[in-house]
Amino acid sequence: MRITVLAAAAALMITGTPAVQASGGPAVPRIDWAVCGAEHPGFECASVKVPLDYDAPRGATTTVALARKPATDKARRIGSLFLNPGGPGGSGVDFALGAGNTLSANLQGRFDIVGFDPRGIGKSDPLHCFASEAELDGFFEGIPGFPYQASQERPFYDRYRSLGPECRDDQKIAQHMSTADVARDMDLLRRAVGDRKISYLGFSYGSFLGTTYANLFPDNIRALVIDGVLDPELWSSGWQIKSDRIATKEEFREFLRTCDEANCVFGPRSEKRWDALLKSVRAKPIQLGDQTFTYDAVINAAIGAMYSPSDWPDAAELFDQLSDAAAGTLSAKAEPDYPNGFDAYNGNVCADIEFPRDFNSYRSISRYAAAGSEFGPAWWWGNAACANWPTNPDRYTGPWRTRTSAPVLVVGNHFDGVTDFRGAQAANRQLAGSRLLAYAGWGHTAYGVSQCATAHTNAYLLNGTLPPVGTVCPANPNPFLPSVASAEPLFKPARR
C-alpha cells in the first residue's frame, strides 16, 4: 500500500557541529538553531550529525533535521517536548511546523515543541529508492493497490520484492534505519537540548518509537505519551496482521451503524449496500465521472476514512455514488527530490521486522488476513517489499516489559481501525506502572479529537498528573450529525 505523508517543510538552515566527545560514546551534537524562514514565523530549524552506526560511534555520521517552536513562557519553561507523527515515514519537522503553535498553546507555552525527521526520512539523509518521482509512480503501474484476485498475487509479490535491492544498493542509510537507532538518536537529541530526562508525545508508529525508547532508556523518562498504540510484540514480530485483519472491520461496522442511525446518504441499509458494492466492484470496475474505481481502490478508500471520523460523511457520499453507478442509476463521468514516505516506510519496517521470504507464505497469510475481514489483505500485502530486504542487526525486538523512571501514559480508542484498542491494552500491561486512558469513540488517536483525552494528556505532560485508573473519555457525538461532520481534528497523524 502506498504511504502518504505531510507536505515538505521549509529548507533547513544550518548544520550543527559536534561538541566535546564523551569517552567511548557518541559526541553530543551542538544544535545551531536558525530561523526556518518567513513562511514559518516563530520557528527555528537546524540539522545535526549523529552516528550512522552506534556500534562505531566515532565513525561515519548521518544527518538529522529538526524544527522547534520555542517556549513562550520562559520563566516557567519545563524543557523540550519531542514529537513523532507516525508512519513510519512521517516528517516530525513538518508536524512541528504544522502543529507547533497549537501544541504550544495547549501546553501553556512551557515547552519547546521539537520535531525531528527520523533518519532516512524527509530531510534527514533521506532514503530514495527511485531516481525521480516519475520513476516512483512507475513502480505502481500495472499492479493493484493490493492483490484481490489470485492472478494478481505473484506479479504484485515480484514487484514489491524487487524493491529491496533497489533501495539498499549504494545507500548507507538503508543499512541503519531501525527504530532502535531512531531511539538512540532521540536520546542524543535529548542531551543536545539540555534535558536531563525526555518528554515525548508519539502517535501511531510513534507509539512503537516511544515503547522502544522506554525499553532502551527506562531511566530517562520524564513524561512519555503514546497515542494510537501498536502492540510492540505483534509489530516487531511481523504479526501486526493479527490486529489489522479485524480492527478496521470493527471500526467500519461503527461507520455503518452510525450512518444508519443518522440517516446518512449511504443508508438506511448501509451494510447490505456495502456488501453489494464490494460484490459488484470485484466483478467489474465502476466508472464514476472520469475516474475508474477497482475493488482495491474502494477498500483503500474505506481504510483511509477510518483514520478520522471527520472524513466519514465524504466517504459515505462516495460509497453512495459508487453504489448508484454500479446499479446503473448514475450517469458516468534528476536527482531524487520527492517526498520519500513510501521509501522510508519500507526502509524502517524492513529494518525492524523479519518478514517471510517466499511467495507461498505471503499467499497463505493473505488467506488468513482475508478470513478476518475484507480489509486484511490490504494491510498485509505491502509487507512483500521486505521479502528481499535484510533486517538491521541493531534493531530491537524486546523484551518489552520494563519499568520506567516515570509512568508512561498509554492512550487508546475503543474503535481504532489502524491501531486497535488491544494494542493500547497490551502496551499498558507490558510497561510496568503505566496508565491506560481510553477514549470510547472512533478514529485513529485521541489527542485533539477528544477534549477529555486532550485535557488529561496536557495535565500529564505539564505536571505528571495521571488520569484516575479506569478513566474512559466519552465518545464524541455521531460523526454524521451536521454539527459534527464539519469538525476537523487538531492533528492528523501520518498514515502507517
Q: Span 201-205, mean pLDDT?
A: 97
Instruction: Give me the phi and psi of 293, to 5 degrees please.
Output: -105, 120
Work out the pLDDT band at 166, boundaries 50, 70, 90: confident
pLDDT per residue as tens digits for the range 238-267: 999 999 999 999 999 999 999 999 999 999
Higher pLDDT, 16 or 51: 51
The phi, psi pair for 223, rounded to 5°, reads -155, 125
Which distant-in-sequence residues (6+ apart) come within 8 Å of 119 by Cβ? 50, 62, 64, 125, 173, 176, 177, 181, 182, 185
At residue 496, the pLDDT reads 78
Which residues 6+ apart lie within 8 Å of 340 measured at CB? 89, 121, 122, 126, 127, 128
pLDDT category at 482 given cuts 50, 70, 90 is confident
Average the pLDDT over 293-307 and give the result: 97
pLDDT of res. 13: 30
pLDDT digits (tens, 9 = 90+) for 425-454: 999 999 999 999 999 999 999 999 999 999
Q: Cell 523484551 belongs to which residue?
A: 399
pLDDT of residue 18: 37
Question: Among residues of the chain, what percentage have pLDDT more than 70?
Answer: 92
Confidence of residue 6 (pLDDT cuts 50, 70, 90): very low
Tell me: the pLDDT tens digits for 28-42?
A: 999 999 999 899 999
Does pLDDT of 129 surpass 90?
Answer: yes
> Per-residue pLDDT tens for 411-428?
999 999 999 999 999 999
Contact call for residues 225 and 461 (beta carbons, < 8 A) = yes
DSSP designation for 86? B
The per-residue pLDDT for 170 is 66
pTM: 0.92
Q: What is the pLDDT of residue 21?
A: 44
